[in-house]
Chains A and B, each alone.
Chain A
């Protein structure tokens, strides 16, 4: 498959998972929120199990060569450290990340989420402009 077709298929899977989560649990699937809940121990079972599921998915993807195979990082661990801190802090302050705001929020026409995802992309583009592309 071409990479845009992979992207579309991946998107359909992500949307399906988010929809199933929403309908069955009546909650918005947001990864940063679930990580935070696991850290501060609210909604403990749902959040910890979700993170475990992501780890299993990663392991499956690697084992069956569905992704994670050609991990070309092209950035150093210093950039990983800085990026991780900013992503975590930003998601906590914005109350959501690419999943909760970008998929569920935008689909629900939430003004906060639409603003958030637009800023994510423009700020990300500015950051790549400064740090450099690959």
Chain B
């Protein structure tokens, strides 16, 4: 199968999964992150389901551990980036995949989010701190 076709089919199944799971509903995501308030644990099952399938397949295909992974550094950029990402996720209730998938909803909320997200993704390159 052509590479582009693999990517296209993966994206359709991936996006349908996001829509079915509730990840495309900002209120649901915010509820999941609201540990100290009205916590809604449902979205844990998205991660559990996805990791169960991916890890089973991955460990069948890759019989031994990728030794390069353990040598990767836990650098400051990863930590700062993750803190910033989490902050934005809690403010808006969307992350990149669900945001793109929700563009079809026609909501201005999603258009605004995706617009500034594209700026954010490009910003480190613009500021010459990342390739």
Bound pair (A, B):
yes
Asked if B4 and A58 make an inter-chain contact with CB atoms under 8 angstroms apart, the answer reads no
B79 located at the interface, meaning its Cβ lies under 8 Å from any Cβ of chain A in the complex: yes
Chain B interface, number of residues (Cβ within 8 angstroms): 106
> Distance (Å) between the CB of B53 and the closest chain A CB?
3
Asked if B99 and A84 make an inter-chain contact with CB atoms under 8 angstroms apart, the answer reads yes
* Across-interface contacts of B28 in A (CB, < 8 A): 3
Cross-chain contact of B92 among A61, A79, A104 (Cβ < 8 A): A79
Tell me the bound Cα distance from A12 to B6 in angstroms.
Answer: 18
Asked if A125 and B82 make an inter-chain contact with CB atoms under 8 angstroms apart, the answer reads no
**Given A57-B12, A89-B123 in contact, is the A103-B86 Cβ separation under 8 Å?**
no
Tell me the bound Cα distance from A29 to B58 in angstroms.
Answer: 13
- Per DSSP, chain B at the interface is helix
Cross-chain contact of A123 among B26, B43, B83 (Cβ < 8 A): B83
Task: Assign chain A's interface to a size class.
Answer: 35 or more
* Across-interface contacts of B124 in A (CB, < 8 A): 89, 92-93
* Across-interface contacts of A58 in B (CB, < 8 A): 15, 19, 24, 100-105
* Across-interface contacts of B103 in A (CB, < 8 A): 55, 58
> Distance (Å) between the CB of A18 and the closest chain B CB?
5
**Given A25-B6, A111-B69 in contact, is the A59-B104 Cβ separation under 8 Å?**
yes
**Given A70-B25, A108-B66 in contact, is the A91-B90 Cβ separation under 8 Å?**
no
* Across-interface contacts of A131 in B (CB, < 8 A): 90-91
Asked if B121 and A19 make an inter-chain contact with CB atoms under 8 angstroms apart, the answer reads no
Chain A 1-54 residues near chain B, CB threshold 8 A: 3-25, 29, 31-32, 35-36, 39-40, 45-47, 49-54
- Provide the B7-40 mask, 1 if CB < 8 A to any CB of A, else 0: 1111111111111111111111011011111100
Q: Nearest 8 A-B pairs (CB), nearest first? A: A88-B120, A10-B21, A83-B92, A11-B49, A57-B15, A53-B11, A123-B86, A127-B90
Residue pairs across A and B with Cβ atoms less than 8 A apart, 11 shown, are A11-B21, A11-B48, A18-B54, A53-B12, A57-B14, A80-B110, A81-B112, A81-B116, A84-B88, A124-B87, A134-B27
B residues lining the A interface (CB < 8 Å): 1, 3-4, 6-28, 30-31, 33-38, 41-55, 57-58, 61, 65-66, 69-70, 72-74, 77-97, 99-105, 107-110, 112-125, 130
